[in-house]
Structure 1
């Protein structure tokens, strides 16, 4: 067993990884890439592969570099301190870019959501104040304000309601949560609380009860 294989096994043991094949699966890299690391060919490996391996081994990339660039044989020019420093800088740049991309996506998501909720954000505080000042104000005048804004948001996200409150529908245990008692599939039930689907994915089952 080479010195590099032993070093890798030591790191795997600390991370609770039982075999080189298991490391390959956990890091989502090919077994060939694991073999290259065992052979001490780290300087020939792509940065994204090294990042996946360091994550699977639960160690910083800098530790992976220092561990597998140290050997008893004469280092190649690629494994010079300058190359190590360049790899570290590239890793830091990649991390910064990822953080910036996440921040941009978060801001875009917030902006699009705010646009969909604009009416609610601008008009709800006034409507709520009127309701507090005038207890005779019918709720039916306020409900559409919330309902319309919510409907716009759900449509933008591709979310659809399962039936509607008060609807009488055939019971489907895959889509419906029965509120007490038992019911047979196909038996007529009434919807008490909405459920939601997003495409083919079920988000929340609708709550139903027997007639």
Structure 2
């Protein structure tokens, strides 16, 4: 396409700010004469943004107005189309983001329901039998606790096994003291000295969930 001559339009803007010549404009904006020539020939798309900013400042017009004034018609149309396509892409991305957020929320709800259902299945015997056992214990304080403990212990063991959680050591065990895994409840102990487990601790794979609480074993 033949380049348009925008010299007259540029001169109109120059007159508004009392700039008499293209050379004076070049000096006032601190841009080269070649850049002024580019603008006059309608080659604005080849010019640097910093040059356009300088010219818009000296001519006292906004950058968008300068671009609209000195852009070729086909370039303006192209920019309009590009802007419309960009806006449509943004709108599509927003819709996709909202859809993704909804799917994630639905997946979280589904996973939560599955987790609750699987946990309830492992706790089923406890849920069914514990209320009755607790009522009997209230009615008969002499009821041996050993008869009630399995109701809690077995479902708990099944859950821990399913989740890959292991006890550091059983209650009452005497083991070498490891400050990374054990927490002293009283006294002092050096790593490797024998301590007794008072409260159980747990590991899930390589991750420490709770340190076991221990006490030093009294030496004779």
TM-score, L = length of structure 2: 0.61
Q: Deviations over 1:75-121 (max 9, x none)?
A: 514213x4333222111111111100111111111111111111111
Are residue 79 (structure 1) and residue 91 (structure 2) matched?
no
Q: Deviations over 1:45-104 (max 9, x none)?
A: xxxxxxxxxxxxxxxxxxxxxxxxxx9573514213x43332221111111111001111
TM-score, L = length of structure 1: 0.63
Q: CA RMSD in A?
A: 1.6
- State the distance in 1 between where 2:196 and 2:208 align: 19
Runs of 4+ with deviation above 6 angstroms? none
Tell me what 1:162 maps to.
168
Tell me what 1:152 maps to.
158
Which of the two has higher C-alpha Rg?
Answer: 2
Are residue 100 (structure 1) and residue 86 (structure 2) matched?
no
Secondary structure, aligned partner of 1:169: strand
Are residue 130 (structure 1) and residue 126 (structure 2) matched?
no
Query: Would you say how many aligned residue pairs link Structure 1 and Structure 2?
Result: 140
Q: Which runs of 5+ in 1 are unaligned?
A: 1-70
Secondary structure, aligned partner of 1:177: strand
Secondary structure, aligned partner of 2:178: coil
Q: Which runs of 5+ in 2 are unaligned?
A: 1-62, 68-78
Tell me what 2:94 maps to.
88
Tell me what 1:18 maps to.
none
- State the distance in 2 between where 1:93 and 1:163 align: 48
- State the distance in 2 between where 1:122 and 1:179 align: 37
